[in-house]
Homo-oligomer: A and B are copies of this chain.
Amino acid sequence: MKHALPVTREADFAAWYQSVITEADMAEESGVRGCMVIRPWGYGIWERFQRLLDDRIKATGHENCYFPVFIPLSYFEQEASHVEGFAKEMAVVTHHRLIADGKGGLVPDPAAKLEEPLVVRPTSETVIGHAFARWVQSWRDLPVLINQWANVVRWEMRTRMFLRTAEFLWQEGHTAHATADEAREETLKMLEVYRDFAENCVAVPVIAGEKPENERFPGAVGTWSIEAMMQDGKALQAGTSHFLGTNFAKAQNIRFQNAEGQLEHAQTTSWGVSTRMIGALIMVHGDDDGLRVPPRVAPWQVVIVPMLRDTPEDEALVSYCRELQQALAAESAFGEPVRALLDLKPVKATNKRWGWIKKGAPLVIEVGGRDMAAGNISVIRRDHLYREDGKLDSAAVARDGFAGGVAALLEDIQQTLFDQAKKRLDANITPAGDWAQVEAHFAKGAKNPGWLEVQWSRPTGAGLDAVVERLKALKLTLRNAPMGQAATDGACIFTGDAAVERVLVGRAY
């Protein structure tokens, strides 16, 4: 069977991923090393993410702020483990002016060298911590609950669109609390916000759990993540939430007078979701015909393509379609007005059809003269593109009355995409009782080896290093220890000691 993309998932998953991004006009190389241009369809999805996640961040009591893109070098020198984790990959501003080089070009002006270099933020704990130190004096000032939508830069050597780019977009929440319990509660509350957002908005089922010590954010006491499974079985960490204890508060002097009049360090947290989530969306929902966008996060949920023929009949056809577009826009789905586009661009109708299929618009409606004459429209559901005989599944239905059912239709598509992904996730997490099983499982060379759930004794230090090395030899990593897991009932597959926890193991992006 022929498909719209030049390469299938089966043939070459990495090439398929890139072709979805290109064919769906989501993003492209920018000419600037490691940075991408996010095009309207890709950015439109990000805007939907922003709106839905921002609503949830505000509903849980957080307010948005904005902090400088530049961080003085000295701020990084204060938290030792933090700088160790980030110092190797940052963009450094050293000059504030360019001058002519006398050969028709420009060079940094030696006279305009900064006394202290500035780092383009890789994350904002340090600069926000300095603000918290000013804002927090008394227990009455706590909690501080803030969030920022921003661009950040980490100088990556090997980049991949949406998954790993030098510059990316994200939100980063930062909070300060009077007690460790309250800060831990916040950390887990935001993890749950991320799980809800991933599953109920992006239709990406995830496993929420705590990362092992070696995978913690630099400077954190504990890091939790939501892990999503891509169609090649690899894990993608789609959001993280960190309990920072007093590590940053001590480095940045965030102190408050408690109700008893004593000075204490605040307990802080941070948590983030980035444009990486778009990579998850592609690799969870895409198929060999392109992207499939869950209706809740689709910039356009319904696209109407009139089959124009440059004849006087076109006018009536456009009116017929516009009435439908208006009827759709008057409806609500998921508590918001339905987003319906009437595509009148000067492009051939079949090219438009395949363009929107590749972009993954949930519903594509084609309307020709014959449809109009019969009072019909032809509806393609992106989550069910082909009939059993391999032909495009385009169903003629009456135009009038279609709008009334569109919310249910969109909700059904949203649920179908989630159910497909959930079924795959559940089917591909397998328990493994010993190390031999782990080796055998990943030696099989399955297209989707999925993840293994193993029991372990949660070693630390050198013991953990040894575990990490053994896994690395199989290109595996520890993902997380799922929340609400069953009690352990065996031995650690690494050490043979009594197991204290179940942890997921898999390949990862």
Q: Which residues of A contact B (CB under 8 A)?
A: 28, 30-32, 35-40, 43-44, 46-47, 63-74, 76-77, 83, 87-99, 104-108, 117-120, 127, 130-131, 134, 140, 146, 150-151, 153, 155, 166-167, 169, 346-347
Contact among B37, B67, B77, B106 for A106, CB-based, below 8 A: B77
CB pair B93–A97 under 8 Å, yes or no, is: no
Contact among B46, B131, B166 for A30, CB-based, below 8 A: B131
CB pair B92–A104 under 8 Å, yes or no, is: no
Contact among B30, B46, B68, B88 for A32, CB-based, below 8 A: B68
Chain B residues with CB under 8 A of A90: 96-98
Which of A35, A66, A90, A93 gathers the greatest number of chain B CB atoms within 10 Å? Answer: A66
Chain B residues with CB under 8 A of A83: 106
CB pair A30–B68 under 8 Å, yes or no, is: yes
Q: Which residue of B lies closest to A165 (CB)?
A: B68
Which of A35, A69, A92, A146 gathers the greatest number of chain B CB atoms within 10 Å? Answer: A92
Known contacts: A92-B95, A93-B120. The answer to whether A87 contacts B68 by CB under 8 A is no
The 8 closest A-B pairs by CB, nearest first: A35-B68, A40-B63, A38-B66, A96-B155, A92-B95, A32-B68, A87-B98, A94-B94
Chain B residues with CB under 8 A of A99: 87
CB pair A94–B97 under 8 Å, yes or no, is: no
Contact among B69, B74, B97 for A88, CB-based, below 8 A: B97
CB pair A43–B65 under 8 Å, yes or no, is: yes
Measured in the bound complex, the distance between the Cα atoms of B69 and A105 in whole Å is 21
CB pair B117–A120 under 8 Å, yes or no, is: no
Q: Which residue of B lies closest to A54 (CB)?
A: B47
Measured in the bound complex, the distance between the Cα atoms of B106 and A117 in whole Å is 10
CB pair A30–B94 under 8 Å, yes or no, is: no
Measured in the bound complex, the distance between the Cα atoms of B73 and A104 in whole Å is 12
Chain B residues with CB under 8 A of A150: 151
Shortest distance between the CB of A344 and any CB in chain B (Å): 11
Q: List 12 A-B contacts (CB under 8 A).
A: A30-B68, A37-B65, A43-B65, A44-B64, A69-B69, A76-B98, A87-B98, A87-B99, A88-B97, A88-B98, A93-B94, A120-B120
Shortest distance between the CB of A464 and any CB in chain B (Å): 25
CB pair A87–B64 under 8 Å, yes or no, is: no
Measured in the bound complex, the distance between the Cα atoms of B43 and A146 in whole Å is 11
Measured in the bound complex, the distance between the Cα atoms of B32 and A491 in whole Å is 53
Measured in the bound complex, the distance between the Cα atoms of B303 and A114 in whole Å is 45
Contact among B31, B65, B94, B107 for A95, CB-based, below 8 A: B94
Chain B residues with CB under 8 A of A89: 96-97
CB pair A98–B69 under 8 Å, yes or no, is: no
Chain B residues with CB under 8 A of A98: 73, 76, 87-88, 90, 92, 119
Shortest distance between the CB of A59 and any CB in chain B (Å): 13
Contact among B30, B31, B64, B131 for A43, CB-based, below 8 A: B64
Measured in the bound complex, the distance between the Cα atoms of B70 and A92 in whole Å is 12
CB pair A167–B73 under 8 Å, yes or no, is: no
CB pair A134–B68 under 8 Å, yes or no, is: no
Q: Which residue of B lies closest to A130 (CB)?
A: B31
Q: Which residue of B lies closest to A97 (CB)?
A: B88
